[in-house]
Structure 1
Amino acid sequence: MSINWIKITERAREGIKIINALPYDTFNTVLWYTHRQMSPSATAAAPTSTVGTSVTTTERADSIAEDTPTSSNEPEYTLEELERLVGVPRADFLLLIKTFSYILRRISTFIIKPSLLQRELREKLQLEDEAKIDAILRLWVREATPIMENLASPRYESNVVEDVAWKLHVEVSSHCQQRDKTPIGVLQLRTAAGEDISSEMTHPELLQLYNQFEQIQAELDATLAMTETAPASGAASISGSAQ
Structure 2
Amino acid sequence: MATLMFSSTPSIRKAVSIINNLDGSKFPLLLSRILQKLHMKDERTFSEEEEERLQSTLSLEVTDLELLLQTLEFFLQQAAYHAAKPAVLTQQLTQLEMEEDKVTALVEAWTSSGRDVLQKLRQRTLLPHQLDTINWRLNLQMAQSTKTKQKIPNAMLELGVSREERDSNQKIRMEFTHEELYQFYNQLETIQKQLDGLS
TM-score (norm 1): 0.44
Q: Which residue of 2 aligns with 1:120?
A: 92
Q: Residue 96 in 1 paired to residue 79 in 2?
A: no
Q: 1:27 to 1:114 in 2, by over 3 A?
A: same
Corresponding letter in the other structure for 2:102: K
Q: Residue 197 in 1 paired to residue 198 in 2?
A: no
Corresponding letter in the other structure for 2:105: A
> Using CA pairs below 8 Å that are at least 6 residues apart, which structure has the higher relative contact order?
1
Q: Residue 136 in 1 paired to residue 131 in 2?
A: no
Per the TM alignment, residue 108 of structure 1 is displaced from its structure 2 partner at its CA by 1.2
Q: Which residue of 2 aligns with 1:12?
A: 12
Q: Secondary structure at the match of 2:192?
A: strand
Q: Which residue of 2 aligns with 1:109?
A: 81
Q: 1:93 to 1:115 in 2, by over 3 A?
A: same
Could you tell me how far apart the structure 1 residues matched to 2:30 and 2:119 are? 28
Q: Is the 8 A contact 1:30 1:82 kept in 2?
A: no
* Structure with the larger strand share: 2
Corresponding letter in the other structure for 2:70: K
Q: Is the 8 A contact 2:89 2:107 kept in 1?
A: yes
Q: Which residue of 2 aligns with 1:86?
A: 58
Q: Which residue of 1 aligns with 2:154?
A: none
Corresponding letter in the other structure for 1:21: N
Q: 1:187 to 1:102 in 2, by over 3 A?
A: same
Q: 1:146 to 1:37 in 2, by over 3 A?
A: closer
User: Could you give the per-residue CA deviations for residues 18-69 of structure 1, whole angstroms, max 9, x where no partner exists?
Assistant: 00111101222322232233243994xx79x9312xxxxxxxxxxxxxxxxx
Q: Which runs of 5+ in 2 are unaligned?
A: 121-185, 195-199
Corresponding letter in the other structure for 1:113: K
Q: 1:146 to 1:94 in 2, by over 3 A?
A: closer
Could you tell me how far apart the structure 2 residues matched to 1:25 and 1:147 are? 23
Per the TM alignment, residue 149 of structure 1 is displaced from its structure 2 partner at its CA by 8.9
Q: 1:140 to 1:42 in 2, by over 3 A?
A: farther
Could you tell me how far apart the structure 1 residues matched to 2:4 and 2:54 are? 32
Per the TM alignment, residue 2 of structure 1 is displaced from its structure 2 partner at its CA by 6.1
Q: 1:80 to 1:136 in 2, by over 3 A?
A: same
**Aligned residue pairs, count:** 131
Runs of 4 or more, structure 1, over 6 Å off, are 147-150, 185-189
Q: Residue 26 in 1 paired to residue 21 in 2?
A: no
- What is the RMSD computed on CA atoms of the aligned residues? 3.7
Q: Which runs of 5+ in 1 are unaligned?
A: 53-77, 151-184, 190-195, 200-243
Per the TM alignment, residue 115 of structure 1 is displaced from its structure 2 partner at its CA by 1.6
Corresponding letter in the other structure for 1:36: Q
User: Could you give the per-residue CA deviations for residues 99-152 of structure 1, whole angstroms, max 9, x where no partner exists?
Assistant: 1111111111114432222111112x2211x222122112222333357899xx
User: Could you give the per-residue CA deviations for residues 184-228 of structure 1, whole angstroms, max 9, x where no partner exists?
Assistant: x97967xxxxxx8146xxxxxxxxxxxxxxxxxxxxxxxxxxxxx
Q: Is the 8 A contact 1:35 1:104 kept in 2?
A: yes
Q: Which residue of 1 aligns with 2:48?
A: 51
Q: Secondary structure at the match of 1:8?
A: coil
